[in-house]
């Protein structure tokens, strides 16, 4: 059956439109960082926002007020966490993962691979994807706080100082 309840279609359209515009407002107030996905916490918030919006659109047991309050709470907490992170180094260290070297100067750090739960095969794939056929040509592979890998050439790492790598855990 195509339409079980025509009223539900109108409800989804009306609530969806209202929720959409309120979400845009919340995201503008919350700032660009709200959906930046710079780390795992940011990613989880982004997924949760999408889930709440989907529930507002499809759930008949969730009122618009409940959904909007949940969206506002998530965006507000994200803004608070970001604000605290910028103002307190200790707070930032407590909630944010640090990037980590997996390879330095062509040498694989097996302890870092084990700590970060990255297999040697996964690392080799990342190196190949970065355009390298020899590990010795890789200056560094960094596992970033958001889970992405960056592969840097030996030439790039030979230039000093390496200011973009100052926050990477050794």
CATH number reported for the structural domain that contains residue 105 in this entry:
3.30.240.20
Which residue from 93, 47, 100, 54 is spatially nearest to 74, judged by alpha carbons?
Answer: 47
Q: What is the per-residue pLDDT across 99-131, written as a single tens digit (0 to 9) for each?
A: 999 999 999 999 999 999 999 999 999 999 999
Q: Are residues 114 and 69 in the same domain?
A: no
pLDDT digits (tens, 9 = 90+) for 45-92: 888 888 998 888 888 788 888 988 998 998 888 888 888 988 998 988
Query: Both 59 and 123 in a single domain?
Result: no
Place of tokens 């507002």: 56
Does 67 share its domain with 10?
A: yes
Specify whether the CB–CB gap between 27 and 75 falls below 8 A.
yes
Alpha carbons 127 and 141: distance in angstroms, whole number: 8
Radius of gyration (Cα) for the chain, nearest Å? Answer: 22
Instruction: Give the structural domain span for 48.
Output: 6-94
Number of domains into which the chain is organized: 2
For residue 57, report the phi and psi dihedrals to the nearest 5 degrees. Answer: -75, -35
């Amino acid at each position: 059956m195509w339409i079980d309840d025509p009223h539900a279609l109108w409800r989804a359209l009306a609530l969806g439109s209202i929720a959409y515009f309120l979400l845009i407002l919340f995201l503008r107030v919350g700032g660009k960082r709200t959906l930046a996905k710079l780390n795992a916490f940011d990613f989880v918030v982004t997924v949760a926002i999408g889930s709440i919006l989907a529930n507002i659109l499809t759930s008949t047991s969730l009122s618009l007020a409940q959904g909007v309050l949940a969206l506002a709470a998530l965006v507000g907490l994200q803004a608070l966490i970001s604000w605290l992170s910028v103002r307190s180094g200790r707070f930032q260290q407590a909630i944010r993962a640090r990037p980590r070297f997996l390879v330095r100067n062509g040498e694989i750090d097996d302890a870092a691979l084990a700590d970060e739960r990255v297999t040697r095969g996964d690392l080799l794939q990342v190196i190949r994807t970065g355009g390298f056929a020899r590990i010795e040509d890789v200056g560094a592979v960094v596992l970033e706080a958001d889970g992405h890998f960056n592969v840097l050439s030996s030439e790039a790492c030979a230039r000093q100082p390496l200011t973009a790598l100052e926050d990477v855990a050794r």
